[in-house]
Amino acid sequence: MATGIYKHLVLPLLDRLDSETWHERVRHGLHTVEQVPLGPEFLEILAWKGRRVVDPRLKVSLDGVQLENPLIVGAGWDKSGISVRALYALGFASVEVGTVTPRPQPGNPRPRQFVLSSGVVINRLGFNNPGADVVAANLESYKSDNIPVGISIGKNKDDPEDRAPLAYAEVVRKLYPYGSYFVINVSSPNTPGLRSLQRKEVLLSIAQAVLEVMDSYGARKPLLIKIAPELSYQEVDEILDVVLQLKLAGVVATNTVALGEVKARYGEGWRLQPGGLSGDDEVFRRMSTSKVAYIYSQTKGSIDIIGVGGVKDAHTALEKILAGATAVQVVTAIRSEGLAVAARTNLGLLEWLNKNGVKSISNAVGARYEDFLDTK
């Protein structure tokens, strides 16, 4: 679907729908299409003229998990794990499902997702998901597809802090067979008290509990920690201490931004509205990219970084990669840029490699991290 047609004809019609309603309809529509004969092939045609963008120069390794390209559907887009095959057909190398909690959770009251501009959204969903048991049943149908699946894990809203390690471990216990990698989400602004779990001693206990479950299965899978963009560098350092001490795979940087001053860029009335802002906002994108660059500056490639925040095309993906990200995640741009966003981005990355004489995208990781450090 041509970008111009989508943005000028389709997107204005979608804007008339409640943002979450649109999201649900598309997700369930993809689920339906992927189950019919030749459904995935139809999605490849929809995405990019039936030609999946495959090139060995785009391959990356996420702590041993081989990805066909550096583009991942970020957590929050498919919370239930029902459209993995469809999203892969659209050109993404992996889908991160969730965030998944031990028990079903309805999330916060609606309306809870708001479009501020065509590429910027505020959400206060609150970990709405059907629970680990249902997600496990959903992911069972993809086991034979050999698609790398990430799983973002969390705790239920009513789980007290002292039970957090058990809650995160319980999700992994139920979903371990289905995940290629796991992400500890302690940075969503939409669950009261969740961001306090980013404290070093609490995070250490959560990660240790998860690793113990993995050990009970006989092998540790890559485990990353997802952080908030508002963290100070000192707070990031404490999280890196946990990552390095426990030999975790890395960090996902970053979650949505909850700062009122960022939300107020779209009208003063948004300043005090609860929720996190995501998407094509320059300030947010710069915040997340600077965290990627800082983490890379401290670790120099010894851990993997997944960059997320404002990725919508090859240019914004390259920002994260050059700052130090092994892979990048796309969420909001699936709506604002359309279902061909992965194909266009991958083609753009190949064009950049050709133009700059770079042998592979992995060779670009961290190549210009100093350019993206926040010097304030």
Residue 18: count of CB within 10 angstroms of its CB: 14
- Which element (helix H / strand E) includes 53? none
Residue type, 98: G
Q: Which residues pair with 62 in a beta bridge?
A: 65
Return d(Cα 225, Cα 214) in angstroms, integer.
Answer: 16
Burial of 204 (0-12, 13-18, 19+ CB in 10 A): middle
Regarding beta strands 120-123 and 276-279, do their DSSP bridges make them parallel or antiparallel, or are they unpaired?
Answer: antiparallel
DSSP assignment string, 202-220: HHHHHHHHHHHHHHHHTSP
Active site residue ranges: 188
Specify whether the backbone of 226 is left (phi greater than 0), alpha (psi in -120 to 50) or beta.
Answer: beta
42: its two tokens: 């139809």
9: its two tokens: 């004809």
Pair 235, 199: CB distance under 8 Å: no
Residue 315: count of CB within 10 angstroms of its CB: 12
Burial of 289 (0-12, 13-18, 19+ CB in 10 A): buried
Return d(Cα 375, Cα 264) in angstroms, integer.
Answer: 24
Write the secondary structure of 76-126 as one string of H (helix), E (strand) and C (coil): CCCCCCCCHHHHHHCCCCEEEEEEECCCCECCCCCCCEEEEECCEEEECCC
